[in-house]
A and B are shown apart, each in its own frame.
Chain A
Amino acid sequence: MSLLDRIRYCQERDAARFRRFQVAGHPVGWVAQELADRLRGFPQVFAVSREAVQLVGGLDSAERRTRAVGDVILRLREEGWFSGWRGEAFAVSTAFHTPPLLQLERAAARAFGVRCYCVQLNGIVERDGELQTWIARRSLSKPVGPGKLDQIVGGGQPVGIGLRANLIKECAEEASIPEALARRARPVGAVAYLRQAGDICDDEVLFNYDLLLPPDFAPLNADGEVADFELWPLGRVKAVLAESEDFLFDVALSLLDFLVRHGAIGPSDPDYIEICEGLWSSPPEGAA
């Protein structure tokens, strides 16, 4: 086991099991063969070929697409196609700052292999010149990654709210970080990956933030999504990342970036170059 295993896990590809999901001529996701075949049953909404799943030409506005696809998704939900239904709308677009082509329920967005955006926060404490970071253990009732280790705060980016506002909301819900403190969080970059495994294609961009917390601050979960918090030295984060799959796999990518930026992984680590290069392994926005 090594840190590079965490990178390689995020880079798994299995293109033969998927068809491209295209909207208005733009490739926006990947649909597993089995789901693509089921979508043939909705010819008034989906045009399914051997290579691609497209929306029919008549669906020419975001509103029409959202409504038509939403109806199909509700039917498929009854048939048990989606796990972890959230009741949360996700925007599908060609790039983060471009207007959405349609909106999709978050659980369905995952099944359509649509690019998702998240905010991830490193809650840092400085003691005697050494950095420590707050680590959360996810609640056993979480639909994704129950019991896995996580950063102090992290969350998907829903429709209709800015990144900063979402981060502040998640800070309050997940760790009871007051707004005034949460506002001091600093954007420090982003990591990305595209992973195809089983019948799921995860295409995710994680916006990373660092927040220096006062030594006497203790996070307290308010929404039941975190079982407990612990303050870890960076060396322990590195060791657990290298030796286990205890961290949620996308959180691991965000944490590798954190460890690199703070020098806890350095040029003396044998895989340093490959780890740094692997922090972004997703195609460009708007590209195939």
Chain B
Amino acid sequence: MSLLDRLAMIREPDLSRYRRFVVDGHTVGWVAADLAARLRGHDGVFVVDGETVGLSPRLRDYRERTAAVAGVLQSLRADGWFRGWRNEPYPVGPSFGAGLFEIERAAVPSFGVRAYGIHVNGFVRDGADLRLWVGRRSRHKPTYPNQLDHLVAGGQPAGLSLAENLLKEGAEEASLTPDLVGRAKPVGVLSYLLENEEGLRNDVLFTYDLELPADFTPANADGEIEEFFLWPIDRLIREMSDTANFKFNVAFVNIDFLIRHGCIGPEDPSYLELVRRLRRRPGLR
């Protein structure tokens, strides 16, 4: 067992099995054949051909597209298409901050739409050593119940800036004050395109480091985290190497954290493969 096992799922999907989801001339996602076939039944909203899924040209703006697609998704939901309905709108568009319409979060992996999230590594210095705050997700979460998570992490919904989302998630998940959240430092982006049981995860994670005072103790406010642990790095590496207890993409961010802080070095034979797998091949949207 090794850290590399946690990145084994980062494999380039065979996109020939998907239809390009094209809106307003932009590729905004990838739709599997069974869903594409189902969408043919809604030809007032979706336009499906052998290679692409598009939206009807009748839908001219953000509001019209959002409303029409929402109607179809409700009908699919009634047929049992999506797990863990959230009532959280996610923007769909060619790039970050350039939304063409919104769809419900639970449908995002089915449409292979690029989704954005924030992940905060909350850590404490202990002399020269680091300790990382780890949360355990509630057993009632619709996705990845009971799995290990970051101090603060969340999807990026429509209508919030990254800074606003950090404040909101920081308060809800760990009772972080705005003053503490303000110390979070952006440290990069992890992006990947992979297939899992939810569908196609086409994600961009904005990662942050937040150094916390030794006397800080997180308290969950929204019932989504059951408990928190403050783990030394060797404990974190052992858990990461020997188990799949961390939520899959939290493991990605943890490995990036371990690399950036020199807790894993190039003497490790898997070092370059770890670094490489955490970066998406350019051009693969």
B282 within 8 A of A: yes
Closest to A269 in B: B186
Q: In residues 137-192 of chain B, which contact A (Cβ within 8 Å)?
A: 162, 185-191
User: Are B191 and A276 closer than 8 Å at their CB atoms?
Assistant: yes
Interchain nearest-CB distance for B273 vs A (Å): 7
B side interface size, CB within 8 A: 30
Report if A273-B191 is in contact (Cβ < 8 Å); known contacts: A186-B261, A205-B272. yes
Separation of A272 and B262 alpha carbons in the complex (Å)? 23
A278 within 8 A of B: yes
Interchain nearest-CB distance for B127 vs A (Å): 14
Q: Which of A187, A266, A273, A280 contacts B96 (CB 8 A)?
A: A273
Report if A276-B272 is in contact (Cβ < 8 Å); known contacts: A186-B261, A207-B266, A267-B162. no
Q: Which of A95, A189, A260, A263 contacts B275 (CB 8 A)?
A: A189
User: Are B282 and A263 closer than 8 Å at their CB atoms?
Assistant: no
B265 within 8 A of A: yes
Closest to A10 in B: B282
Residues of A contacting B266 with CB < 8 Å?
Answer: 96, 163, 187, 190, 207
A277 within 8 A of B: yes
Closest to B187 in A: A261
Separation of A205 and B276 alpha carbons in the complex (Å)? 10
Separation of A153 and B261 alpha carbons in the complex (Å)? 20
A176 within 8 A of B: no
User: Are A285 and B265 closer than 8 Å at their CB atoms?
Assistant: no
Interchain nearest-CB distance for A121 vs B (Å): 13
The 9 closest A-B pairs by CB, nearest first: A186-B262, A276-B189, A280-B279, A266-B186, A263-B185, A187-B265, A97-B269, A190-B275, A263-B186
* 30 contacts across the A-B interface (CB closer than 8 A): A11-B282, A162-B267, A163-B266, A163-B267, A164-B267, A186-B262, A187-B264, A187-B265, A188-B260, A188-B261, A189-B259, A189-B275, A190-B266, A190-B271, A210-B262, A260-B186, A261-B188, A263-B186, A267-B162, A272-B189, A273-B95, A273-B96, A276-B190, A276-B191, A277-B191, A277-B279, A280-B279, A284-B273, A284-B276, A285-B276
Residues of chain B having any CB pair with chain A under 8 Å: 95-96, 162, 185-191, 204, 206, 259-262, 264-267, 269, 271-273, 275-276, 279-282
